[in-house]
């Protein structure tokens, strides 16, 4: 058994769906008023579930996770940074070289952290 789905809890799944559709450049697999989903060629799936859905229950709050995108070159880090800025994506951390490699952090409409990273070999 292997994990294959990440769910982000969002205030407006349709707004978040449009954001990620623009970011990924792909169509969602499902769009409902309280849930949207994307699937990727590597087997990972991303769900966007409304915190206002009738069947949503959570005792937590805040954004304690990151959705990470590992890239293969420093050029890709810089290109994604420029592209996301042009899309109007909020940047929380500009590109820097951290102990683990070149990276930057953006935010989705609900403040979920999106990290692009080129790991050091």
In order of start, what are the domains of the chain with their CATH numbers?
A: 5-50 (3.30.720.120), 66-119 (3.30.720.110)
Angle in degrees, CA 91, 3, 30, rounded to 5: 65
pLDDT in tens, 25-73: 999 999 999 999 999 999 999 999 888 877 766 666 666 678 999 999 9
Q: What is the pLDDT of residue 59?
A: 61
pLDDT in tens, 92-116: 999 999 988 899 999 999 889 899 9
CB 45 within 8 A of CB 6: yes
Q: Which residues, in sequence order, are CB contacts of 110 under 8 Å at separation 6+?
A: 8, 9, 10, 11, 16, 63
State the Cα–Cα distance between residues 50 and 14, nearest whole angstrom. Answer: 9
Q: What is the pLDDT of residue 64?
A: 62
Q: What is the pLDDT of residue 1?
A: 63
Q: What is the pLDDT of residue 61?
A: 64
Q: What is the pLDDT of residue 58?
A: 63
Q: Is 49 annotated as a binding residue?
A: yes
The one-character DSSP state at 29 is S
Q: Which of 1-10, 40-49, 70-79 has the lowest mean pLDDT?
A: 1-10
Assign 75 a pLDDT band (cuts: 50, 70, 90): very high
Nearest to 9 by CA among 53, 43, 44, 40: 53
Q: Is 65 annotated as a binding residue?
A: no
pTM assigned to the model? 0.83
Alpha-helix runs per DSSP H in 39-95: 74-86
């Amino acid at each position: 058994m292997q994990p294959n789905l990440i769910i982000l809890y969002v205030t407006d799944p349709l707004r978040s769906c449009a954001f990620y559709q623009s970011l990924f450049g792909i169509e969602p697999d499902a769009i409902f008023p309280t849930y949207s989903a994307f699937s990727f060629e590597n087997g990972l799936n991303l769900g966007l579930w409304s915190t206002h859905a009738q069947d949503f229950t959570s005792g937590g709050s805040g954004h304690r996770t990151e959705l990470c995108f590992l890239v293969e070159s420093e050029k890709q880090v810089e290109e994604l940074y420029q592209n996301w800025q042009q899309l109007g994506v909020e940047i929380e951390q500009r590109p820097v070289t951290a102990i683990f490699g070149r990276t930057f952090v953006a935010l989705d409409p609900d403040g979920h952290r999106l990290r692009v990273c080129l790991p050091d070999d």
